């Protein structure tokens, strides 16, 4: 089955290249370092390396506490962090600077993944969340590189897809040296799909520390705005129009921060001002575009209530944990399957409200803006929830340390 998958992938190459070029029109980063996507790398080969793959922005940020622990555990190893998206690569630069070797993961062709592994020679591989590439995992198994699936999640929707292609996916999942699952439900689905040595380690996103200076700047900005602020956080294509139509004329300021930076100019048509042009919007502005990268802590610090994007289309939602950690009351749409466990915990703690549709979410947010006491109670509940669920990094490190010890023993042998 993997051979057929590889044939299909080769046939798709012209379309893959066309898509890469097309995305590069809006995000120039897709036209940079293209050779890395085909297993061609410059620079010295690290003598010893640990490798972590974080597909895009969310995974790159979530991996930060884990990367720091890896650097502490194995200071004589280089840490290589790969990604797939241009925004992910920019996030690696922002979060890690020169402390890691950042690179694009190659396309999943046998020769390109072999070239990647031959160049970096990792002692251990770590894949964040659900990045399971059949040829990559087969090459790692052949080279005796243990691979751990970290912060793993598996929604029922995703599990159905894996079951449908079991002949292809089951060998890849069985090849994993260990799995660190976010919840018992994720662990059960992964075991059913063939994963072995599965441990429930919690969600690494609870361990990510917000930039407190950014949060404080946001609070100071909120005071300068001098009116309630509703944040539409990490919105996806089509959501801004629906949410802003439901909000209509309002006496509060709505701040929109799209999930993908390439959409900033598109969303600007709905805004009266944008952050890159006006540090503080005029009193007459009703919609303000947050068109900067790496400043979500600022936007959460400046918000009185946050509506989490990606949850009003069938896309599974976006990360709500940062908002909870900042003490911001959270309103969610119906589609949060990518953050199912965090959503359940937030709802049970009274830190979030989930609405059935856009209109319901806007009504809930408006009610919160009028109720300071309830906002304060929800904000406190969110902070306490985050504190209570920290520790995932330590549980991950326990699993990874065992795999690293085994890898070192094999290297000596």
Identify the sign of the CA torsion 90, 96, 99, 103: negative
Cβ atoms of residues 155 and 316 within 8 Å: yes
> Helix, strand or coil for residue 352?
strand
Residue 23: its H or E element = helix 13-26
Residue 301, classified by CB atoms within 10 Å of its CB into exposed (0-12), middle (13-18) or buried (19+), is: buried
Dihedral in degrees, nearest 10, Cα atoms 98, 99, 104, 108: 160
Q: Is 131 labeled as catalytic in the residue annotation?
A: no
95/91 Cα distance (integer angstroms) = 6
306: left (phi over 0), alpha (psi -120 to 50) or beta: beta
Q: Where are the alpha helices (DSSP H) in 104-211?
A: 110-120, 134-142, 156-164, 166-174, 184-192
The burial class, CB within 10 Å (0-12 / 13-18 / 19+), for 237 is middle
Burial class (CB in 10 A: 0-12, 13-18, 19+), 147: buried
What's the token pair of residue 148?
């751990």
Backbone phi, then psi, for 307, in 5-degree steps? -100, 125
Number of other CB atoms surrounding residue 270 within 10 Å: 16
Other Cβ atoms less than 10 A from the Cβ of 223: the count is: 9
- Single out the residue of 400, 407, 409 nearest to residue 70, CA to CA: 400
- Contact between 60 and 82 under an 8 Å Cβ cutoff? The reply is no
Number of neighbouring beta carbons within 10 Å of residue 310: 25
- The Cα–Cα gap between 337 and 182 comes to 13
Q: How far is CA 234 from CA 154, 185, 253, in A?
A: 22, 26, 17
Annotated catalytic residue, options 32, 36, 44, 59: 59
> Which residue, chain included where needed, has tokens 């036209």?
31
Active-site positions read 59
């Amino acid at each position: 089955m993997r051979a057929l998958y590889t044939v299909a992938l080769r046939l798709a190459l012209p379309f893959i290249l066309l898509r890469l070029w097309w995305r590069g029109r809006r995000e120039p980063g897709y036209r940079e370092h293209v050779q890395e996507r085909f297993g061609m790398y410059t620079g010295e080969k690290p003598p010893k390396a640990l490798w972590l793959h974080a597909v895009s922005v969310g995974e790159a940020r979530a991996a930060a506490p884990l990367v720091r622990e890896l650097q502490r555990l194995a200071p004589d190893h280089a840490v290589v962090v790969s990604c797939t998206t241009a925004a992910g690569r920019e996030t690696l630069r922002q979060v890690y600077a020169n402390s890691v070797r950042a690179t694009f993961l190659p396309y999943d062709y046998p020769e390109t993944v072999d070239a990647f592994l031959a160049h970096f020679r990792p002692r251990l591989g770590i894949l964040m969340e659900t990045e399971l590439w059949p040829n990559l995992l087969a090459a790692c198994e052949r080279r005796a590189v243990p691979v751990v699936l970290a912060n793993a999640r598996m929604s029922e929707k995703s599990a159905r897809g894996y079951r449908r292609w079991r002949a292809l996916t089951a060998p890849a999942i069985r090849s994993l040296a260990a799995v660190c699952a976010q919840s018992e439900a994720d662990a059960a689905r992964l075991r059913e799909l063939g994963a072995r040595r599965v441990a429930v380690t919690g969600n690494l996103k609870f361990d990510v520390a917000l930039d407190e200076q950014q949060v404080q700047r946001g609070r100071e900005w909120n005071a300068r705005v001098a009116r309630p602020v509703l944040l539409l956080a990490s919105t996806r294509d089509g959501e801004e129009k629906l949410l802003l139509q439901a909000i209509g004329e309002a006496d509060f300021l709505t701040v929109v921060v799209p999930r993908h930076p390439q959409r900033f100019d598109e969303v600007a048509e709905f805004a009266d001002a944008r952050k890159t042009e006006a540090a503080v919007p005029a009193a007459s502005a009703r919609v303000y575009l947050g068109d900067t990268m790496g400043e979500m802590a600022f936007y959460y610090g400046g918000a009185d209530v946050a509506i989490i994007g990606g949850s009003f289309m069938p896309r599974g939602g976006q990360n709500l944990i940062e908002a909870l950690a900042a003490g911001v009351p959270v309103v969610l749409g119906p589609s949060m399957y990518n953050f199912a466990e965090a959503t359940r915990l937030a709802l049970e703690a009274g830190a979030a409200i989930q609405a059935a549709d856009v209109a319901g979410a806007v009504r809930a947010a408006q009610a919160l803006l009028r109720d300071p006491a309830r906002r304060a109670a929800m904000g406190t509940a969110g902070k306490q929830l985050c504190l209570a669920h920290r520790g995932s990094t330590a549980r991950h490190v326990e699993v990874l340390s065992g795999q690293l010890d085994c890898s070192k023993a094999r290297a000596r042998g």
